[in-house]
Structure 1
């Protein structure tokens, strides 16, 4: 079985190839290693291979890792659903939150972000599929919500995130990512200074990069197959 370092090298090569195929410059896409449910020693192995950005979906799973790896130069990203009673710890321990979909949650994150820390980077999660079971704000409410979030003092609205339903082929995969990129362009045309598109996972990163992704969220291809989901959260990246 490949080591985590070998898998990381393979994923990075994959991203570089996808950038080239899309006519984008090398390094235009960041790799976020999705480490939810993975033990701290796996993250240590990834750190040894130069990976410093890690994504977590479950606060109860992330807490012990954040403590165990407090000595490491990690940039922690929260990518899972956010309950109101979890916002304080997320605001205190994470540098990024990709899954903001309600103004109430954004306000709590802003109010609870410690003043000694830089503003919390956030992405507005958009439901590009329109499925009732999918998390995220609707595209129709994105502008109003984004403007309100952008005014919050302890947050920095960076961009948009989506988690589309699986699609059968490359062109089908591109559709929701194109929708998100078009919305991103529309919001910027309205005066919002967004620079981040968080989209693309192990199975569809090429399509996401072709449509302008700046952060791909990769778990399986970095850490290998994992145990079934614990509780609610995003699908396996």
Structure 2
């Protein structure tokens, strides 16, 4: 496992550097988020030993178990799945980032439950750029109003926007929703945003061309995702299996 993860991670980094050059962007301007949901702690540790530091999780109980096991590692944990009200306390206490904020109620709970000894929780507003009814995310036209309210919460730091566009076979078609998200990002310039979390295993190179600052890759690093054990708690919302 270690060898294959190391090889995949190296290949991804080389492709990422090439994508940055193709976009005329500085090397290192795009950060790699390894989507480790359903992967065992041993796989995360293998990637960690080869320099990966940021990992994305969607299923809370699974993530907490891995955090406990890997507590000796300097890992930045990102929550990237749809977030329910009864999960906010643990996410507020145990994660550095939330990429999937899509309503004010969740933002307020995260703010109120963020422990005072920790820095503000980094958050991105998830935008449903393709208008898919099965996916989480705020409508593009509602993004500004939500951003204004989130920016007022002192225990949160609004960093930017996230999107999971509908799949498309044509590279140019794949770029269109990323342009929509980037335009929204520019319209919110007054909030000092610095993050565009967009691009997954099938479209991340197009996302880099359109300004992504985080790309979320799972299978490209870890290989095929193992099935979730039947005993793993469900209920994390529609669209949580389509985040990388």
* TM-score of the pair, normalised by structure 1: 0.96
Q: Which segments of 5 or more consecutive residues in structure 1 lack a partner in the other structure?
A: none
State the distance in 2 between where 1:236 and 1:215 align.
13
Other-structure match for 1:137: 138
Aligned length: 235
Superposed CA deviations along residues 130-182 of structure 1, whole A, max 9, x for unmatched, are 12222100111111100100100100000000001111111011000010001
Other-structure match for 1:80: 81
State the distance in 2 between where 1:112 and 1:65 align.
21
1:98-113 mapped onto 2 (5 Å cutoff): 98-113=99-114
Q: Which segments of 5 or more consecutive residues in structure 2 lack a partner in the other structure?
A: none
Residue pair 2:38, 2:227 contacting (<8 A) in 1 also: no
1:166-205 mapped onto 2 (5 Å cutoff): 166-188=167-189, 191-205=190-204
Other-structure match for 1:28: 29
RMSD: 1.2
Displacement after TM superposition at 1:236 (Å) = 5.4
State the distance in 1 between where 2:222 and 2:44 align.
9
State the distance in 1 between where 2:170 and 2:133 align.
23
Residue pair 1:220, 1:236 contacting (<8 A) in 2 also: no
Displacement after TM superposition at 1:126 (Å) = 0.1
1:115-134 mapped onto 2 (5 Å cutoff): 115-134=116-135
Residue pair 1:55, 1:79 contacting (<8 A) in 2 also: yes
Displacement after TM superposition at 1:60 (Å) = 1.3
Displacement after TM superposition at 1:84 (Å) = 0.2
Residue pair 2:81, 2:243 contacting (<8 A) in 1 also: no
Displacement after TM superposition at 1:202 (Å) = 1.1
Displacement after TM superposition at 1:227 (Å) = 2.7
Other-structure match for 1:8: 9
Residue pair 1:198, 1:213 contacting (<8 A) in 2 also: yes
- Return structure 1 stretches of 4+ with deviation > 4 angstroms: 228-232
